[in-house]
A and B are shown apart, each in its own frame.
Chain A
Amino acid sequence: MSALDRRFAALADPTRRAILARLGQGEATVQALATLAPISQPAMSRHLKVLEAAGLIEARIDGTARPRRLRPEALDELTGWMTALRDAFEQNYARLDALLGDLPSDPAETRPAETRP
């Protein structure tokens, strides 16, 4: 799996999205995150491992604690994909805009001008 695959796969799970939403408000300890979902400690550890492997979160070393926090650059990449997709569509649509200006209305459609203010 590519890094991006892992990121989207990590996001496909509601518990992991809840963890990310919580971390979006600031770093949190594993104990604090455990209150987000009624799941076992090992299950929570697995979710955190998936998010870490996907590069979405990281652990900070604070004495014996390992609070987790978001890696903002990872989320930037995800939204980057959305931007790239939009740009891809937009290239075609810009061409279509120009074309629609020149396109005669359908012969069967004789009232397009009247349907517009």
Chain B
Amino acid sequence: MSSPATVSRPDARTVLVTRRFDAPPAKVWRAFTEPAIVSRWMLGPPGWTMPVCEMDVRVGGTFRWRWQNTETGVEFGFHGTYLEVDPNRLLRNSEVFDPGTMGGTMGGEAQIAVTLTQVPDGTDVSTRITYATGEDCEAAVSTGMTDGMEISYQGLDRVLAA
């Protein structure tokens, strides 16, 4: 059975999120790499939709995610390039925060590495977010803490999570 995600900051410019899923790596991989599936769960808090979810999952391919608040119309997103694609094991990509009409900053470009590890009762997913500098990490963290937090970080997280 899954237990809640754990979040840690192994060093000044890294955020690490881990979580176990009750499904084999092949299934989890699909859920993280097929846009039609990603857009069904990477939605963040209630009230947000994901009108744009484009993912060309191959090395050098790009992705573009955008969320919109159904009440206020506020939008933000992430985009980036896939750097490493090892099916059922590892997805690594660059990621840039697009503040859209929401505002805030996430620092500069970040690198996201999602690692899948098969365990007896499922799959461990670790999402490592590495910023170029500790300052960028602070910027991302503080954007997260203001009212954009739930949203932007979820975006990031899921994404990462994704």
Contact = CB atoms under 8 A, between A and B. Distances in A.
Interface of A: 2, 4-5, 8-9, 12, 81-82, 84-86, 88-93, 95-97, 99-101, 103, 105-106, 108-109, 112, 115-117
* B-side interface size class: 35 or more
Interface of B: 2, 4-9, 12, 15, 17, 19, 21-24, 26-31, 37, 40-45, 118, 120-122, 127, 134-135, 137-139, 141-142, 144-146, 149-150, 153-154, 157-158, 161
Contacts of A88: 44-45, 149-150, 153-154, 157
9 contacts: A8-B138, A89-B7, A89-B158, A92-B44, A96-B31, A99-B40, A99-B41, A101-B23, A112-B27
A106 B23 CA distance: 12
Contact of B27 (A86, A92, A105): A105
A103 B27 contact: yes
Contacts of B31: 96, 99-100, 103
